Structure 1
Amino acid sequence: MTSKQQVALVVGASRGIGRQVAIDLAKEGYAVVVAAKSTSDANATKPFPPDPNSQQSTISTVEREIREAGGTATAIAVDTRNFESVQKLVDETVKIYGHLDVLIYNSGAIWWASIEKTPMKRFQLMQRINVEGLYGTVQAALPHFEKNGWKGRIIVVSPPIYSRFFRGKTAYAMGKVGMSILTKGLAMDWEREGKKDMAITSIWPAASIQSAATGQITKTDPDSIKDLRKATIYSDAILAMLRAPVEDVNGLLELDEDFLRNHEGVTDFSKYSVVEGAVPRRIMPAKFPDLTVAEQADEGRRTDSTKMRTSKL
């Protein structure tokens, strides 16, 4: 790795979207740390490379894919439910490559059902992996961004905030919307603190993307494959976000298709269709509500709990 090579940490990169993002970042010249729970003996994996949406795809095989293509990659196992594990991941990334420029949080747990049919353990798992895992990873990364002169980017896999998203998956939505709130809040912190070279952006698919999760659906409904897009649309959008000026993307909650259209001028998305010639159904609204209020800039009397604490947690 050269001293000028950008370093990207992709959390949740063993398969599907995360794998594609890691591979495409490496193609763009990034040194990539591939992180998730799943590991394997990549040299013993046959056939290679494995189905990217199968259990045979692990951070070990993704690292091998990148290295065999001439890229720079290191696989590091992590349990995002454990803050110590997350801290070790981030610290090891910087120990190996010297610095951290990009953090992408793709790790996630899914359970789409009514509240009545969502057990407490399932709810807790989603909150720990989705919102707590993100928060812990950001907390662990911030000191390293500071050492880097507050220059860096964070990309979060979470949605725009709107009413329909909660329907039929409230427990899941609570965590995912919480992740989007972190994006908005941290962006405001950086703006207020004058960190002009830091940006955090949330991204979500406009149409369903081929993955292990959608694979379960197509098994029972084979025709639904026509509504799927390749994961490359997601990685293309993320790479475009990383190229964009800070002021264009900091605090933005955006869809992959919409960002490519509005910021990159893309009008033809046919190459992303899993089934050639198919036009995948858009699953997200065409327009989202504006979350700002007229009093946006009026903070009133700010309260800083760090200056009020009388005991240590």
Structure 2
Amino acid sequence: MSLQGKVAIVTGSGRGLGLAYAQELARRGAAVVVNDVDPDMAAEAVASIQAGGGRAVAVVAPVGPTATAQQLVQAALDAYGRLDILVTNAGVLRDTVLWKMSDDDFDTVIDVHLRGTFTCVREAVSHMRASGEGGRIICIGSPTGQRGNFGQTNYAAAKAGIVGMVRTWAMELKRAGITANAVIPVAATVMTATVPYFAAAVEAEERGEPMPDFFRHDLGFGTSEDVAGLVAYLASDAAANVTGQAIGVGGDRIQLWSHPVPVATAYHAGGWSYEALETGFAEAVGELQSVGEDFPPLPEELQRPAPAR
């Protein structure tokens, strides 16, 4: 019960990954403010936590506006008298290629993921700094924000921006004893459930069976519960010295993502003119960086036919 006496807010926690985070924090002793836009989902999440002996209340509101952030923090204070942990998980998808992406597609995803993370963290740390008792900020990123992904301009921008904010907040909040970290989950979700590549893993989870080792070990792909342990750890006193990090987790794997650093450095007397770059660019920078994720071929026994179109 390493979080006994702590109070947490988890945005977007009516189902999926967010629900797993909220349930794990409650199981570890924290009281939880659940958040979702669907009142039924929020109520079911609260009931599931209470059925396990935990404490939870719900705030039904869309993440993004400052008013929602204020409502979430006030709910924690009204119900439990304090706030120690914030997990920003709420998100939406509006996937399409760049030339088909509308202003609304872009703005909606940025508003919920990026602005929603900003407004909730700003409100939470304002209270944490005033209380003088420190705190934990855990923001949910994505491999898409680290590597890019076809059809996800808006999502990639938001998730990359979240990691950038986390690095900044780690510096700004250090003196207050507040840590800020990003978790990069790789897990079966509503989004991956429709991808044929992950079909065997999703089918195993639906049957209540362990996912094949290829997914859990080779891909680091698992269940929502596989991610929840890292969230609870980062929320605990044991992780007091962990801040400003982007940590990937899924299945049997955990990864520490590097901060962007130069991988090649070269100098040219007088600067790099067009002519100098034309003749010397390839030698100066070496091998170019890759984009996107390159998954290995599925073992034959795990292959599934593509769905009919």
Please report the TM-score for the alignment, with normalisation by the length of structure 2: 0.71
Separation in 2, partners of 1:120, 1:71: 42
Residues 38-77 of structure 1: matches in 2 within 5 Å? 38-40=38-40, 58-77=41-60
- 2:239 corresponds to 1:245: yes
- 2:147 corresponds to 1:154: no
1:30 deviates by 0.6
Separation in 2, partners of 1:142, 1:288: 25
CA contact (8 A) 1:183 1:200 kept: yes
The corresponding residue for 1:189 is 172
The corresponding residue for 2:288 is none
The corresponding residue for 1:231 is 224
Residues 227-306 of structure 1: matches in 2 within 5 Å? 227=215, 228-243=221-236, 244-247=238-241, 249-257=242-250, 269=252, 288-291=257-260
The corresponding residue for 1:109 is 92
The corresponding residue for 1:123 is 106
1:47-86, Cα deviation, whole Å (9 max, x unpaired): xxxxxxxxxxx11101001112211111111211322122
Separation in 1, partners of 2:70, 2:179: 21
- Say which of 147, 154, 159 aligns to 1:171: 154
CA contact (8 A) 1:78 1:86 kept: no
Please state whether the residue corresponding to 2:99 is helix, strand or coil. coil
Cα RMSD (Å) of the superposition?
A: 2.6
Separation in 2, partners of 1:95, 1:201: 26
Separation in 1, partners of 2:161, 2:247: 15
Separation in 1, partners of 2:61, 2:249: 27
1:160 deviates by 6.9
- Say which of 124, 127, 139 aligns to 1:144: 127
Separation in 1, partners of 2:145, 2:24: 30
- 2:23 corresponds to 1:23: yes
Instruction: Report which of the two structures shows the higher radius of gyration computed on alpha carbons.
Output: 2
1:252-292, Cα deviation, whole Å (9 max, x unpaired): 011025xxxxxxxxxx92xxxxxxxxxxxx9x9x7855435
Please state whether the residue corresponding to 2:98 is helix, strand or coil. coil
- 2:178 corresponds to 1:198: yes
Runs of 5+ unmatched residues, structure 2? 203-211, 216-220, 263-309
Q: Which residue identity is paired with 1:165?
A: G
1:161 deviates by 8.9
Please state whether the residue corresponding to 1:291 is helix, strand or coil. coil
Please state whether the residue corresponding to 2:35 is helix, strand or coil. strand
Separation in 2, partners of 1:152, 1:18: 19
Q: Which residue identity is paired with 2:20?
A: Q
1:236 deviates by 0.9
- 2:9 corresponds to 1:9: yes
CA distance 1:162–1:214, change in 2 (3 Å): closer
1:171 deviates by 2.0
1:73-112, Cα deviation, whole Å (9 max, x unpaired): 1111121132212212211221211010000000011233
Q: Which runs of 4+ in 1 moved over 6 A?
A: 160-163
Q: What percent identity do the matched residue pairs reach?
A: 24
Please report the TM-score for the alignment, with normalisation by the length of structure 1: 0.70
CA distance 1:161–1:120, change in 2 (3 Å): closer
- 2:192 corresponds to 1:214: yes
Please state whether the residue corresponding to 2:125 is helix, strand or coil. helix
Please state whether the residue corresponding to 2:57 is helix, strand or coil. strand
Separation in 2, partners of 1:7, 1:146: 15
Separation in 2, partners of 1:162, 1:68: 36
- 2:69 corresponds to 1:86: yes
Runs of 5+ unmatched residues, structure 1? 41-57, 258-267, 270-281, 294-313
CA contact (8 A) 1:26 1:66 kept: yes
CA contact (8 A) 2:145 2:160 kept: no
